[in-house]
Amino acid sequence: MSSASKNEDGTRNYDLPTPLGMAEFMKQGWAPTPLVGIKESEAVRFCRDRRTKLSNEFFGTRLVIPAGALKVRTNDTDYRFRAHSAFSWLTGITASESVPESVLVMEPRSNGHEALLYIHPRSTRDSEEFYRDATHGEFWVGRRMTTEETEKRFGIKVMHIDTLPGVLRDATDTVVLRGHDKAVDKRVEKHKKREKALDSWLSAARLVKDSYEINEMQKAVDATARGFVDIVKSIPAATSVKRGERIIESAFFGRARLEGNELGYDTIAAAGAHACILHWIKNDGDVRPGDLMLVDAGIEMESHYTADITRTIPINGKFTPAQRHIYTLVYEAQKAGFNAVKAGAKFKDINDAAQAVLAQGLAEMGVLPVSIGDSLKEDGGYHRRWSVHGTSHMLGMDVHDCAQARNDQYRDGVLEAGMILTVEPGLYIHPDDELFPAEYRGIGVRIEDDVLVTKTGYQNLSRSLPSHPDEVEVWMANILRQ
């Protein structure tokens, strides 16, 4: 069930009743419409390897990993469905191919686990569901795959979801990835510690990406780069209306829906001093020539892999000296961050390298109340008044990927080849910050790129988008000339 305001059968109170004659008539006269030419998903062989690793870790335990259920937006209307990343990572089922309330069950066997996928398959035309049920009905939400079609596409044994409650009633030792499907959660006994261990394992297992994932990440980044070109093209329209940030946001959204599944996260379209609000997603401000505009945006592909890129651009195409000063400082900090990325280095090193450059620059501007050294000490942090967020996070199927990994694997961990992360220093001088001369107030700059950790260093997946201030100006001029 999705919306609280829908009836058990998916109908709403204001739906028209179905007369008996109509109900009978609806069952007749339909040609068979099997899906032909189903190709096995490219992700299948990678998913098998992932499930084997999971099986080895949790030998003898039944594991229940729900895709999640629909979430209400308003009354009986739901948000577009997006399956949980752990479910998608293990099954290869993503985007419009995923069905709400699907559940992956890893059933323990003597030699490991058998993977069973429970779904709402396509409803047959002999029930009323296909035309009456606004949640699952084919006439309402489109065709779903049958169990056989799903088996072909995703190389996994598929069962009807209606049989899952019976399975979960037996005495098998079971651990669920809790919190994503209430109907499943209530059928599985709570094991707080073991559930946390499963959640953490599933998160940490995604730290190092396989070749399929790296490829998809590059596609996400490339689509996002095209979205940034769309953004620059939309600047004349954005400056000519009130609330021009909405024009910028929608230009990018169009690209996300055209080339991908969705946005990886709500676009931050922050003109002028809005750039100082780190997660500015209201996007209802004006876009004024002379100001900077910070756009933080990422396209999530059909495979669910998302980019996370920020560019800060001068709305009229040219940085003022004050804007360029702050921008260049952030640019240099990012370079230092990049140079700290390599297998064997600590995750923290990236942040430390970038922050050292920012602290130095702020000290040179005379705004630090203590020495650079004291500010950079763990109990210092004075420079962070203008840069309160960390410099990096893991990136993948979730924009803040692998967030349930243990500290020793992530925050205090060591980088490994195949990890993908952001390098995103920023400086934000709020309009009411009296410590800075007036010309700097209201300037916010972040530069964010997506990098793959390699044995010897890194590969910047988003290098096609210019970030040096001179290159940004030329890039914008070329786009706007077209």
- Residue 76, interface with Mn ion (CB under 5 A)? no
For 455, the token pair is: 């044995």
- Residue 401, interface with Mn ion (CB under 5 A)? no
Q: Phi first, then psi: what are they for 102, rounded to 5°?
A: -70, 155
- Residue 230, interface with ligand GLY (CB under 6 A)? no
Locus of tokens 């870790």: 57
- Residue 450, interface with Mn ion (CB under 5 A)? no
Helical residues (DSSP H) of 268-346, grouped into ranges: 321-339
Q: For Mn ion, which is the closer residue by CB, 300 or 448? A: 448
Tell me the per-residue interface mask from 417 to 446 with Mn ion, x by CB under 5 A, - otherwise: -----x------------------------
- Mark the segment that binds Mn ion (CB under 5 A) among 84-92, 248-256, 295-303, 323-331: 295-303
- DSSP letters spanning 182-206: HHHHTTS---HHHHHHHHHHHHHTT
How many residues of this chain bind ligand GLY (CB under 6 A)?
Answer: 7
Q: For ligand GLY, which is the closer residue by CB, 129 or 308? A: 308
- Residue 265, interface with ligand GLY (CB under 6 A)? yes
Tell me the per-residue interface mask from 361 to 400 with ligand GLY, x by CB under 6 A, - otherwise: --------------------------------x-----x-
C-alpha 98/C-alpha 90 separation (Å) is 13
- Residue 296, interface with Mn ion (CB under 5 A)? yes
Residue 265 interaction partner, one of ligand GLY, Mn ion, none, beta carbon < 5-8 Å per kind: ligand GLY
Residue 307: CB minimum distance to ligand GLY, A: 10
Bridge-based pairing of strands 449-453 and 420-423 is antiparallel
For 134, the token pair is: 């606004």
Distance separating the N- and C-terminal Cα atoms of the chain: 50
User: How many H-runs (helices) and E-runs (strands) does the chain carry?
Assistant: 16, 17
- Among residues 298, 300, 245, 265, the alpha carbon closest in space to that of 449 is found at 298
- Residue 467, interface with Mn ion (CB under 5 A)? no
Q: For Mn ion, which is the closer residue by CB, 178 or 206? A: 206
- Residue 308, interface with ligand GLY (CB under 6 A)? yes
CB atoms within 10 A of CB 188: 16
Conformational region of residue 190, where left means phi above 0, alpha means psi within -120 to 50, and beta covers everything else:
beta
Residue 392: CB minimum distance to Mn ion, A: 8
- Residue 308, interface with Mn ion (CB under 5 A)? yes
Task: Report which residue's Cβ sits closest to ligand GLY.
Answer: 296
- Residue 296, interface with ligand GLY (CB under 6 A)? yes
Contact yes or no for 462/309 (Cβ under 8 A): yes
Residue 249 interaction partner, one of ligand GLY, Mn ion, none, beta carbon < 5-8 Å per kind: none
- Residue 398, interface with Mn ion (CB under 5 A)? no
Residue 437: CB minimum distance to ligand GLY, A: 28
The residues with which 332 forms a beta bridge, in sequence order, are none
Half-sphere exposure of 222 (CA within 13 A, CB side): 7
CB atoms within 10 A of CB 23: 12
Tell me the per-residue interface mask from 253 to 292 with Mn ion, x by CB under 5 A, - otherwise: ----------------------------------------
Locus of tokens 């088996």: 151
Bridge-based pairing of strands 309-314 and 268-271 is unpaired
Q: For Mn ion, which is the closer residue by CB, 291 or 296? A: 296
Residues that bind ligand GLY (CB under 6 A): 265, 296, 308, 393, 399, 424, 448
* Residues near Mn ion, by CB under 5 A: 296, 308, 422, 448
